[in-house]
Structure 1
Amino acid sequence: MPLQILVTDDDSTIQNLVKDCLELEGYSVILANDGEKALSLAMECHPHLLISDIKMPHKDGYQLVQELRNFPPFRLLPVIFLTQQDSMESKINGYEAGCDVYLGKPFEPMELIAIVKHLLERSQIIQAERLFNHDNPPRTNNNHIPSCTLHLTQREKEVLALIIEGLSNVQIAHQLYLSPKTIEKYVANLLKKTDSQNRTELVAFAFKNHLTS
């Protein structure tokens, strides 16, 4: 499934512009027009990344991020503030609230996409390493598959390498000149071969068994 991004802005034009940019890159996008709704959607959908304006009705971006950071599942959630407030004080407040990147409006779509890709890749690696190092991993069967007995085809290795980089199925398909449905089959094969439930566990398995080189 594509990685999901929550976009929060009370300006529908900005919402749709960001949504179009992200969906062209293969991401799934959910929209909120105020901080209160964004908080509710985050609790319900658990997005992989948040892009938020600061000045919004009901709950501003600072409050939204601060409240999200109080919940363990969102302490490492990548956050981008996309805002017209470009004073140094606003930026400092943004980073103190817990954002990862502060980007001013108007923005360059290619820059936003590059930032999103970087933050998602970093987040996926961190989550995989945390899963690998956890004392009680949710799927102990992974520990019982010796890497020497695991056979991956060359194409499966290529797909796995791009999954580790944080690319979506659509992005992998574009890079390997294959259809998204074909990539879905390769991902399903990788999950089955490594006895993984999802992409995060798959990446964790790859790190654990030194399949990342």
Structure 2
Amino acid sequence: MSLQILVSDDDSTIQHLIKDCLELQGYSVILANDGEKALSLAMKYHPHLLISDIKMPHKDGYQLVQELRKLPPFRLLPVIFLTHQHTMEAKINGYQAGCDVYLAKPFEPMELIAIVKHLLERSQVIQSERLFTEHNNSSIDNNNNFFSLHLTHREKEVLALIIEGHSNIQIAQQLYLSPKTIEKYVANLLKKTDSQNRTELVSFAFKNNLTHF
């Protein structure tokens, strides 16, 4: 399942340029041409990242992000403002509204892709750590002997490749991530499964039917 990115911009040329760049990287893209539509689509699809213009009909980018940030599911949503507004005041307003990165138009597609990858990697790690804290990683219900393990989408991908016998470097190449990021995911998996090494992790996966996602 590919990660979903919501792109909100009233310029259809920019919309499809961003869409083409992201889809070439394997992302699924949802398009909106105004802030009101973007808010509705965010509520419906719960994207993994938002790229938004600021000046748009019905609801501008500032309002869109401020309203999303009020909702618990979107408080940690990575947000990129991509806009023609270059003033320092606009940038400050953007960060105060809740964006993570403020990028000026015209933009370099490769820079945008690098930022998207970085924010998504960071988001996955934060989500993993948050789930670990909230659910104590894994829990056993002694009343019904039900085992529950909470893994993020990316952790499942990493675990599947570990089970296949791939090294961290090989996993990083397949998932287009850095080896250092893969090390963090592996460390989280070891912690969540109370495993000391990869061998124990793979054994744990087979014992608990985690070999197919």
TM-score between both structures, scaled by the size of structure 1? 0.72
Instruction: Give 1:83's aligned amino acid.
Output: T
Counterpart of 1:57?
57
Paired with 1:210 and 1:68, the residues of 2 have a C-alpha distance of 40
Counterpart of 2:100?
100
The 5 A counterparts of 1:56-95 are 56-95=56-95
Paired with 2:196 and 2:97, the residues of 1 have a C-alpha distance of 37
User: May I ask how many residue pairs the two structures share in their alignment?
Assistant: 171
1:10 positional shift: 0.1
The 3-state SS of whatever aligns with 1:22 is: helix
The 3-state SS of whatever aligns with 1:30 is: strand
Counterpart of 1:6?
6
**Larger RCO: Structure 1 or Structure 2 (Cα < 8 Å, ≥ 6 residues apart)?**
1
Q: Deviations over 1:163-210 (max 9, x none)?
A: xxxxxxxx72789xxxxxxxxxxxxxxxxxxxxxxxxx9995355246
The 5 A counterparts of 1:1-213 are 1-135=1-135, 140=140, 141-142=147-148, 152-155=163-166, 157-158=167-168, 161-162=171-172, 172=174, 205-208=189-192, 209=195
Taking a change above 3 Å as real, the CA distance of residues 56 and 203 of structure 1, as seen in their structure-2 partners, is farther
**Which runs of 5 or more residues in structure 2 are unaligned?**
141-146, 150-161, 178-184, 199-213
Instruction: Give 2:98's aligned amino acid.
Output: G
**Which runs of 5 or more residues in structure 1 are unaligned?**
144-150, 163-170, 176-200
Paired with 1:58 and 1:210, the residues of 2 have a C-alpha distance of 54
Q: Deviations over 1:38-82 (max 9, x none)?
A: 000000000000000000000000000000000000000000000
Paired with 1:84 and 1:60, the residues of 2 have a C-alpha distance of 13
The 3-state SS of whatever aligns with 2:163 is: coil
Paired with 2:23 and 2:89, the residues of 1 have a C-alpha distance of 32
Paired with 1:86 and 1:115, the residues of 2 have a C-alpha distance of 18
Aligned sequence identity (%): 69
1:154 positional shift: 2.0
The 3-state SS of whatever aligns with 1:54 is: coil
TM-score between both structures, scaled by the size of structure 2? 0.72
Paired with 2:170 and 2:129, the residues of 1 have a C-alpha distance of 16
Taking a change above 3 Å as real, the CA distance of residues 153 and 136 of structure 1, as seen in their structure-2 partners, is closer
Report the aligned-residue RMSD. 2.8
Counterpart of 1:194?
none
Taking a change above 3 Å as real, the CA distance of residues 70 and 211 of structure 1, as seen in their structure-2 partners, is farther
Paired with 1:142 and 1:211, the residues of 2 have a C-alpha distance of 21
Taking a change above 3 Å as real, the CA distance of residues 203 and 161 of structure 1, as seen in their structure-2 partners, is farther
1:106 positional shift: 0.1
Counterpart of 1:191?
none
1:9 positional shift: 0.1
